Structure 1
Amino acid sequence: MTRILPMENIKELWDKIIDGLKTKFTSDVVDLWLTPIELFHKNATEFVLQVPNKFFRNWVEENCLADVKNSLAAAYGLPSGNDVGVEYIELQNVTGGEMTGSETLNAGGAKEPVERVEAAVTSIFNPKLSFSKFIVGKQNQFAYSGAWAVANDPGKQYNPLFIWGGVGLGKTHLLNAIGNRVNENFPKVKTLYVQTKTFINDFIDSIRFGTPATFRNKYSNVECLLIDDIQFLVGKASCQEEFFYTFNAIYDSKKQIVLTSDKPPKDIGGLEERLISRFVWGLVVPIDPPDLETRIAILRSKADEERVYVPEDVILYLASEIKTNIRVLEGALTKVAANAALLGTPLTVDTAKKILQDIITKEKETRPVTIERIQKAVAEHYSLKLSDLKSKRRTEMLAIPRHIAMYLSREMTPSSHAAIGEEFGGKDHSTVIHAINKIKAKAESDPFFSAELNKIVKKINYE
């Protein structure tokens, strides 16, 4: 029968496990992520890791849980790490730092009461998501600059700051970077970061348990409120009303508000007009998908961070194929590097193509179509330069491809006639309408021309 070790022996065992992990991680990493954790023995095969918050739990699970379990199995004479169960106690949540329960565990797994301490409001932010780790390019420069200004002088300018863009482009990174910077420069400032879904759940719980004062104290008495994915308020009238009061309380106190969304305020359907009007009081900034140079820089930074060597031609291939989601881009690099290391095979473009076939196919299928993408595909199809489609020349060799590009821009993007004309060298909207009607009529009457159009469309969709 497996025996329960006394408290001091459990501590010694955890210290030995940490020492063993120093061969895998640097001392700084060990001190940051492992030293604050405590180990408890629950029963014969189950253990508890008491962690400061969710980030520590996630880090352990992603980086060394298997090592910990194997070490515990060896210490207790279990066949393998697979026979070891690990549970967690999170002492502090990441949105405000409240004890998750009124009990903890002693060395034998028995519950002991702990003193409940009034929780601090300030959130704990992911230290990896800092301004120094954010790769800046022309597509995110505006958002980065706005976030940097807010972080260095919260509540004084750009209030609220509203950052919008697609999934995986760095919105959450900037929120964490702001939080980290504010905590560093203004340690007494109460900073709160939450997902909108957390705000909604907290509000519902405050109604269910009759604790509206606790809810309002949490959200209205902060000095820097960071809310992610505000579009999830759509369709929730009561939550929108409560957020309206929260927003006013913080704004009227001249405290900072930063919001993110997948769309600019005016395009979020189902959101109250009074909220939309307040969201644009400050600075609204977009984050667009990074260009090739920025994607290459992101991959190089990720490779350095992971301490893996990735050949330049593989980096160029990944950056060229995965264009719209930074998380997918970084995940692809991790996947090909890990595959090569585990199988002991050279990391080449050919192996990357095989490993990432599903990811790249999905990326191409879901990549949003832009006017520029259409112009490039049409120019390549007719062996023209991109500048030819935007020029003022009206030769027949240029007119038909230009008209096709205008027609497809209207069919494949939400752009208006005026916006399309602007992308073609400032053409008038009437010129665009004429081109669209001409191509539409030709496609309906000429099957060969229609087939040619389909070829171009296919090229655009699977660029």
Structure 2
Amino acid sequence: MSVTAQSVWNNCLEFIKDNIQPQAYKTWFEPIVAVKLTDTALSIQVPSKFFYEWLEEHYVKILKVALTKELGETAKLVYIIKMENTYGNKQPFTEKIPSSNRSAVKSQDVDIPLNNKNPELRNPFVIPGIRNVKIESQLNPNYSFENFLEGDSNRLARSAGLAVAAKPGGTSFNPLLIFGGVGLGKTHLAHAIGVDIKDKYPEKTVLYISAEKFTQQYIDAIKKNNRNDFIHFYQIIDVLIIDDVQFLSGKTGTQDVFFHIFNHLHQNGKQVVLTSDKAPVDMQDIEQRLLSRFKWGLSAELQSPDFETRVSILRNKLYRDGVEMPEDIIEYVAKNIKTNVRELEGAIISLIAQSSFNKKEITLDLARVIVEKFVKNTKREVSIDYIQKVVSDYFQMDVDTLQSKTRKRHIVQARQLAMFFAKKFTKASLASIGSQIGKRDHATVLHACKTVDNLSSTDKQFRKYVDDITKKLSV
């Protein structure tokens, strides 16, 4: 029987399979293709430079033992790093090369054993120049299920999080999308899921990242021509947790790369957890193919906590901080701060601080003063929908009229004011604002903001419109 590259590699794989974890074998050895055998040099094709570097960093010894066993002491291993974009097949990590050079491959001849110059692993979480191949989870261990108190407002999301943590990638909650307003505990729950998975499955690679940081890393990767390494890095994660996914709104390139990463993870039984400030159906400027995938698993809403849950949250916070407080004061704070958990805890911290710094006893009167100041100084979140309603009501028209294509002067001005206030009071991009206010583009929004600025300084009546609406939105 003739010895071929495939037969040699198959024998190597049998040996490797018996000596490493099944998940590691699936991730790092199944995608490899045996290409050719020349004397005692076996050429194998790997999907990217990142892949090659990881093999050399973690599996060079076992590769040397396996290959020496098959080809003797003079065995050599040649890596062929494929540079072609093949998202649709079993090598989804690499970039497309020009059609004129479609057959070109970058090949690197590596003798085993390697010299002492270890290749630098491209990990977007590692500061350049600092050597660290370990992928840190970026999780905050202080956010746990133990201090995420259950109530009617969060029961579904918390239960789904526990199910995912018990069996990541093995439930129908994949992806798990947790959505809700500011300060309701989305980030806390996302971290708690990751922390619990790391406790139960220490061998799994868990990574938490905000959508904003993910986007910045992708931009950096494009600048440095490391796009395939960036994609491959994220495709090796077992549990990927992305916070504030609505930040991808209007960012076409980042959405495209995340689409491919998401597909790969989902197809390979890896867990994806997402958080957002709104449900998928309400997300603007997110590609439909991505939105449809967000809906594959479970979307669980976090709502404002009821009175009993707010009391429990405060008691738990005081217990963890070792502080005692009269029950009537706890209930007073819980009754008067209803919006979200962050404000609730912030008020109790302010109360403790005032008592400590000023050497005052915590009384109901002190609580009243603190709560009144706290509620007064807390900015209410203003949505684009709310802005459109306020502006429409002010000019005595409905929102549909405001969003219409009509060029009537008073309607155009109302629409421009809505765009102006949306830019002023929200963090939405110009593209997102335009999309939500009559499906306009970002240039229209920019023009509207400039027009409002100009008219405010030259037209007294228009200035009054701006002042009146500002007051209504600032209440």
Aligned counterpart for 1:180 among listed residues 181, 191, 195: 195
> Does residue 248 in structure 1 map to residue 275 in structure 2?
no
Q: What letter is aligned with 2:289?
A: R
Shift, 1:181, TM fit: 0.7
> Does residue 351 in structure 1 map to residue 366 in structure 2?
yes
Which position in structure 1 is the counterpart of 2:25?
A: none
Q: What letter is aligned with 2:270?
A: K
1:11-63 deviations in whole A, cap 9, x for unaligned?
xxxxxxxxxxxxxxxxxxxxxxxxxxxxxxxxxxxxxxxxxxxxxxxxxxxxx
TM-score, structure 2 as length reference: 0.53
- Shift of the 366–232 alpha-carbon distance from structure 1 to 2, 3 Å rule, reads closer
Aligned counterpart for 2:151 among listed residues 137, 143, 164: 137
Mapped contact 1:340–1:347 kept (Cα < 8 A): yes
Mapped contact 1:121–1:222 kept (Cα < 8 A): no
> Does residue 275 in structure 1 map to residue 290 in structure 2?
yes
What is the alpha-carbon distance in structure 1 between the residues aligned to residue 352 and residue 216 of structure 2?
39
Alignment of 1:35-114 (within 5 A): 98-100=125-127, 102=129
- Shift of the 273–193 alpha-carbon distance from structure 1 to 2, 3 Å rule, reads same
Shift, 1:262, TM fit: 0.6
Partner secondary structure for residue 131 of structure 1:
coil
Could you tell me which runs of 5 or more consecutive residues in structure 2 were left unpaired when the two chains were aligned: 1-122, 384-396, 400-473
What is the alpha-carbon distance in structure 1 between the residues aligned to residue 295 and residue 281 of structure 2?
9
Structure 1 outlier segments of 4+, above 4 Å: 96-99, 362-368
> Does residue 126 in structure 1 map to residue 153 in structure 2?
no
- More deviation, 328-337/213-222: 213-222
Q: What letter is aligned with 1:229?
A: D
TM-score, structure 1 as length reference: 0.54
Shift, 1:167, TM fit: 0.7
Mapped contact 2:153–2:303 kept (Cα < 8 A): yes
Q: What letter is aligned with 1:352?
A: A
What is the alpha-carbon distance in structure 2 between the residues aligned to residue 365 and residue 250 of structure 1?
37
Alignment of 1:18-417 (within 5 A): 98-100=125-127, 102=129, 116-118=131-133, 120-157=134-171, 158-362=173-377
What is the alpha-carbon distance in structure 2 between the residues aligned to residue 223 and residue 412 of structure 1?
48
What is the alpha-carbon distance in structure 1 between the residues aligned to residue 146 and residue 220 of structure 2?
37
Partner secondary structure for residue 219 of structure 1:
helix
Q: What letter is aligned with 2:127?
A: T
What is the alpha-carbon distance in structure 2 between the residues aligned to residue 351 and residue 367 of structure 1?
30
Mapped contact 1:310–1:337 kept (Cα < 8 A): no
Shift, 1:355, TM fit: 2.4
Q: What letter is aligned with 2:210?
A: Q
Partner secondary structure for residue 146 of structure 2:
helix
Q: What letter is aligned with 1:293?
A: E
- Shift of the 412–170 alpha-carbon distance from structure 1 to 2, 3 Å rule, reads farther
What is the number of equivalent residue pairs in this alignment? 266
Shift, 1:121, TM fit: 2.4
Q: What letter is aligned with 1:100?
A: I
What is the alpha-carbon distance in structure 2 between the residues aligned to residue 124 and residue 242 of structure 1?
21
Shift, 1:345, TM fit: 0.9
What is the alpha-carbon distance in structure 2 between the residues aligned to residue 235 and residue 206 of structure 1?
19
What is the alpha-carbon distance in structure 1 between the residues aligned to residue 217 and residue 382 of structure 2?
35
Mapped contact 2:336–2:371 kept (Cα < 8 A): no
Shift, 1:412, TM fit: 13
Shift, 1:101, TM fit: 5.0
Partner secondary structure for residue 266 of structure 2:
helix
1:291-316 deviations in whole A, cap 9, x for unaligned?
00000000001111111122111111
Partner secondary structure for residue 356 of structure 1:
helix
Could you tell me which runs of 5 or more consecutive residues in structure 1 were left unpaired when the two chains were aligned: 1-95, 104-115, 369-410, 414-460
Q: What letter is aligned with 1:131?
A: F
Give the aligned CA root-mean-square deviation in angstroms: 2.5
Which position in structure 1 is the counterpart of 2:101?
A: none
Mapped contact 1:322–1:329 kept (Cα < 8 A): yes
Partner secondary structure for residue 313 of structure 1:
helix
What is the alpha-carbon distance in structure 2 between the residues aligned to residue 274 and residue 117 of structure 1?
36
Q: What letter is aligned with 1:347?
A: I
Partner secondary structure for residue 260 of structure 1:
strand
What is the alpha-carbon distance in structure 1 between the residues aligned to residue 398 and residue 161 of structure 2?
33
What is the alpha-carbon distance in structure 2 between the residues aligned to residue 213 and residue 273 of structure 1?
24
Q: Identity rate of aligned residues, in percent?
A: 40
Shift, 1:152, TM fit: 0.7
1:254-294 deviations in whole A, cap 9, x for unaligned?
11001010111011011111111100101111000000000
Mapped contact 2:124–2:217 kept (Cα < 8 A): no
What is the alpha-carbon distance in structure 1 between the residues aligned to residue 398 and residue 333 of structure 2?
26
- Shift of the 124–347 alpha-carbon distance from structure 1 to 2, 3 Å rule, reads same
1:376-412 deviations in whole A, cap 9, x for unaligned?
xxxxxxxxxxxxxxxxxxxxxxxxxxxxxxxxxxx99
What is the alpha-carbon distance in structure 2 between the residues aligned to residue 261 and residue 126 of structure 1?
19
- Shift of the 291–363 alpha-carbon distance from structure 1 to 2, 3 Å rule, reads farther
Mapped contact 1:97–1:122 kept (Cα < 8 A): no
Mapped contact 2:138–2:209 kept (Cα < 8 A): no
1:202-251 deviations in whole A, cap 9, x for unaligned?
10000011111321122111010000000011111111111111110111
- Shift of the 239–124 alpha-carbon distance from structure 1 to 2, 3 Å rule, reads closer
What is the alpha-carbon distance in structure 1 between the residues aligned to residue 232 and residue 350 of structure 2?
44
